[in-house]
Chain A
Amino acid sequence: MSSGKGKSVFLTSFNVLVTVFMLAPMVLVILTSFTPGMFYEIPTTQWSLQWYRAIIDVGFLNGFVVSMGLALLAALVSLILGFLAAFVMTRYVFKGKVMADALFMAPIIVPAVALGVGLLQFYVNVGLYNTFFALLLAHVVITVPYIIRTAAVSLSAVSREMELAAMDLGATSRQSFVHVTMPLIKSGLISGYIFAFLISFGEVAMTIFIIGSKYTTLPVDMFNYMLQVNTPVIAAMSTLLIVFSIVLMVVLDRLFGLRTIIG
């Protein structure tokens, strides 16, 4: 046993390779986005921001606004409703609790395509198709499990004794909730919100079914653009999205610790 922990050279080099495999697409997208020419290549002598300027001409700005509005709102509605649900789930015992929990978690397990098919048919038949409201509610459904999970974890981390102690000292249960529980779970809730935002912001598989002509989200716009034309403007837009996601992930990390929220 050369190294006690078993970190062999083979295992290490394998991991280096896999990490390259995991990150290569993103790194190459970022490098390519600065190309001065019409082709996808990594600029060596000349760097250019022309494709960043082209983002606006292509019309991605519209999709970006829709996606932002949709993700911000959907995550907010999810946060409020999901928090209430998580509160009930962690603090009460009632009939049908297991079923309610299964229902709230189901959107993670049910394939996006199946939900997309169901929602499309439903929206077309009830006349909700091509409305922002339709998109919003669909995104609430797919983000709510993530909110409930993070909120439930935060809520169960607050020991019940602390709330009881506050109440024994004369606080009403509402006061104890506002002054004891809320401050303790605040970062958990913000993390859940960012998490839900990222899920909604990047969703394509279900959204593409229910998207009308009126409101298209940025990823769907990019998807369609890639199927038709192909210029490095996609690389520029992708780079902005990569930077955006990584910034949000770092915020998550600072706030709650990625380790605690996801790992």
Chain B
Amino acid sequence: MSSSNGVMMTVLGTPIPPTNAPPVPAATAKRPMRRKAYGKRRVNWFPLLLLTPLLVIMVIFFVVPLSRSVVISFFHFSGPGTFDSSQLTIQNYKDFLSSPFYLGILRRTFMMSLIVTILCVAIGYPVSYYMMQLSGRKQQIYMFCYLAPWLINVVVKAFGWTLILSPAGYINTILLNLGIIQTPLHLMYNDFSMIVGLTQGEMVFAVMPILASLVSMDPELRSAAADLGASRVKTFMRITLPLSLPGIVAGSVFVFTMSMAAYTTPALLGGVKVRVMSYIAYQQNTSTLNFPFGSAVSVILVIFTIVVVQVYMRAMASGKRKVIFR
């Protein structure tokens, strides 16, 4: 059971260490290779040789572009697609941080991500709790319902929400026909539609880690608490919830990070008035080709996200201690 959860967590890349597949212990892994097929000298080179192609690709197409863009953010803009690398400047950051327009977009992105994260955890927890109690085939099918939206294209999902939420969409049509409303509700191209779309799209990233933490919990603990006279609410509050906290933390960090960087869903569901950080990064880099400022936007987005996640994880760590050792 626990190993299959490990797989799940690792595939989703949640940053919980114990879920990684444990490597074969060093000594036993190395010895036979040396003894049987390879000479002593080849042993050190063989693994490196196998790793080299991927390492080269990762350095050229991942490390270099990312570090370059950080460096470029400290250069002056000197025309579309070019920059003046003769001197360093923090002007791009100043421009961003002194503009109410850009700060407003950062604030909007943050608020949106916060709401989406809270919704995903608040809805995802009961879903995981329910999923945990299902058995075998049923659990598999139910999980499929949550995984399917993830592996189905974002554009398709956003389009589905357009059908539901737009002025002539299904919700408005039904409500108008029933006579509940006289004019169509504004459900589309605003914060609401964006949050709905992101919540549905990222739900799976809250559900999976929470489910993993619930399943790995010893069910005896719950029955022990019940045997000792704890009510169901108390058992949940003192046993289940604290022990599933790692799953909640992992899930919320994942959802928050993804929402902060989301581009497609906000672009399709948020419309022209509602813009987020990714959109600004896109616009600066592809329309005006202002690489230095575009880089700065991307760097600010990443650093802001990291800071929020760190503060949150610290707070959760100390909060957890308080809950358990109360």
Contact = CB atoms under 8 A, between A and B. Distances in A.
Contacts, number: 321
Interface in B43-87: 44, 46-48, 50-51, 53-55, 57-58, 60-69, 72, 81
Nearest to B130: A15
Interface string B94-135: 000000000000000000000000000001001101100100
Nearest to A167: B36
Contacts of B23: 89-90, 93, 156
B149 to A, nearest CB: 6
A91 to B, nearest CB: 5
Contacts of B268: 223, 226-227
B11 interface: yes
Interface stretch (B176-184, B278-286, B310-318): B278-286
B143 A259 contact: yes
B50 A238 contact: no
A134 to B, nearest CB: 9
Q: Tell me the interface secondary structure of chain A in the complex.
A: helix
Given A40-B163, A219-B155, A263-B211, A164 B32 contact: yes
Interface of A: 1, 5-7, 11-12, 14-15, 18-19, 21-26, 28-29, 32, 39-42, 81-82, 84-85, 87-94, 100, 103-122, 124-125, 137-138, 140-141, 144-146, 149-150, 152-153, 156, 160, 163-164, 167, 172-174, 195, 198, 201-202, 204-205, 208-209, 219, 222-223, 226-227, 234-235, 238, 241-242, 245-246, 248-249, 253, 258-263
Query: Which 4 residue pairs are nearest across A and B when measured between Cβ atoms?
Result: A25-B160, A111-B261, A118-B65, A108-B13
20 contacts: A7-B133, A14-B126, A29-B159, A29-B160, A84-B51, A85-B54, A87-B50, A92-B47, A100-B55, A111-B261, A115-B62, A116-B282, A141-B58, A150-B7, A152-B21, A153-B6, A160-B29, A204-B155, A223-B264, A226-B158
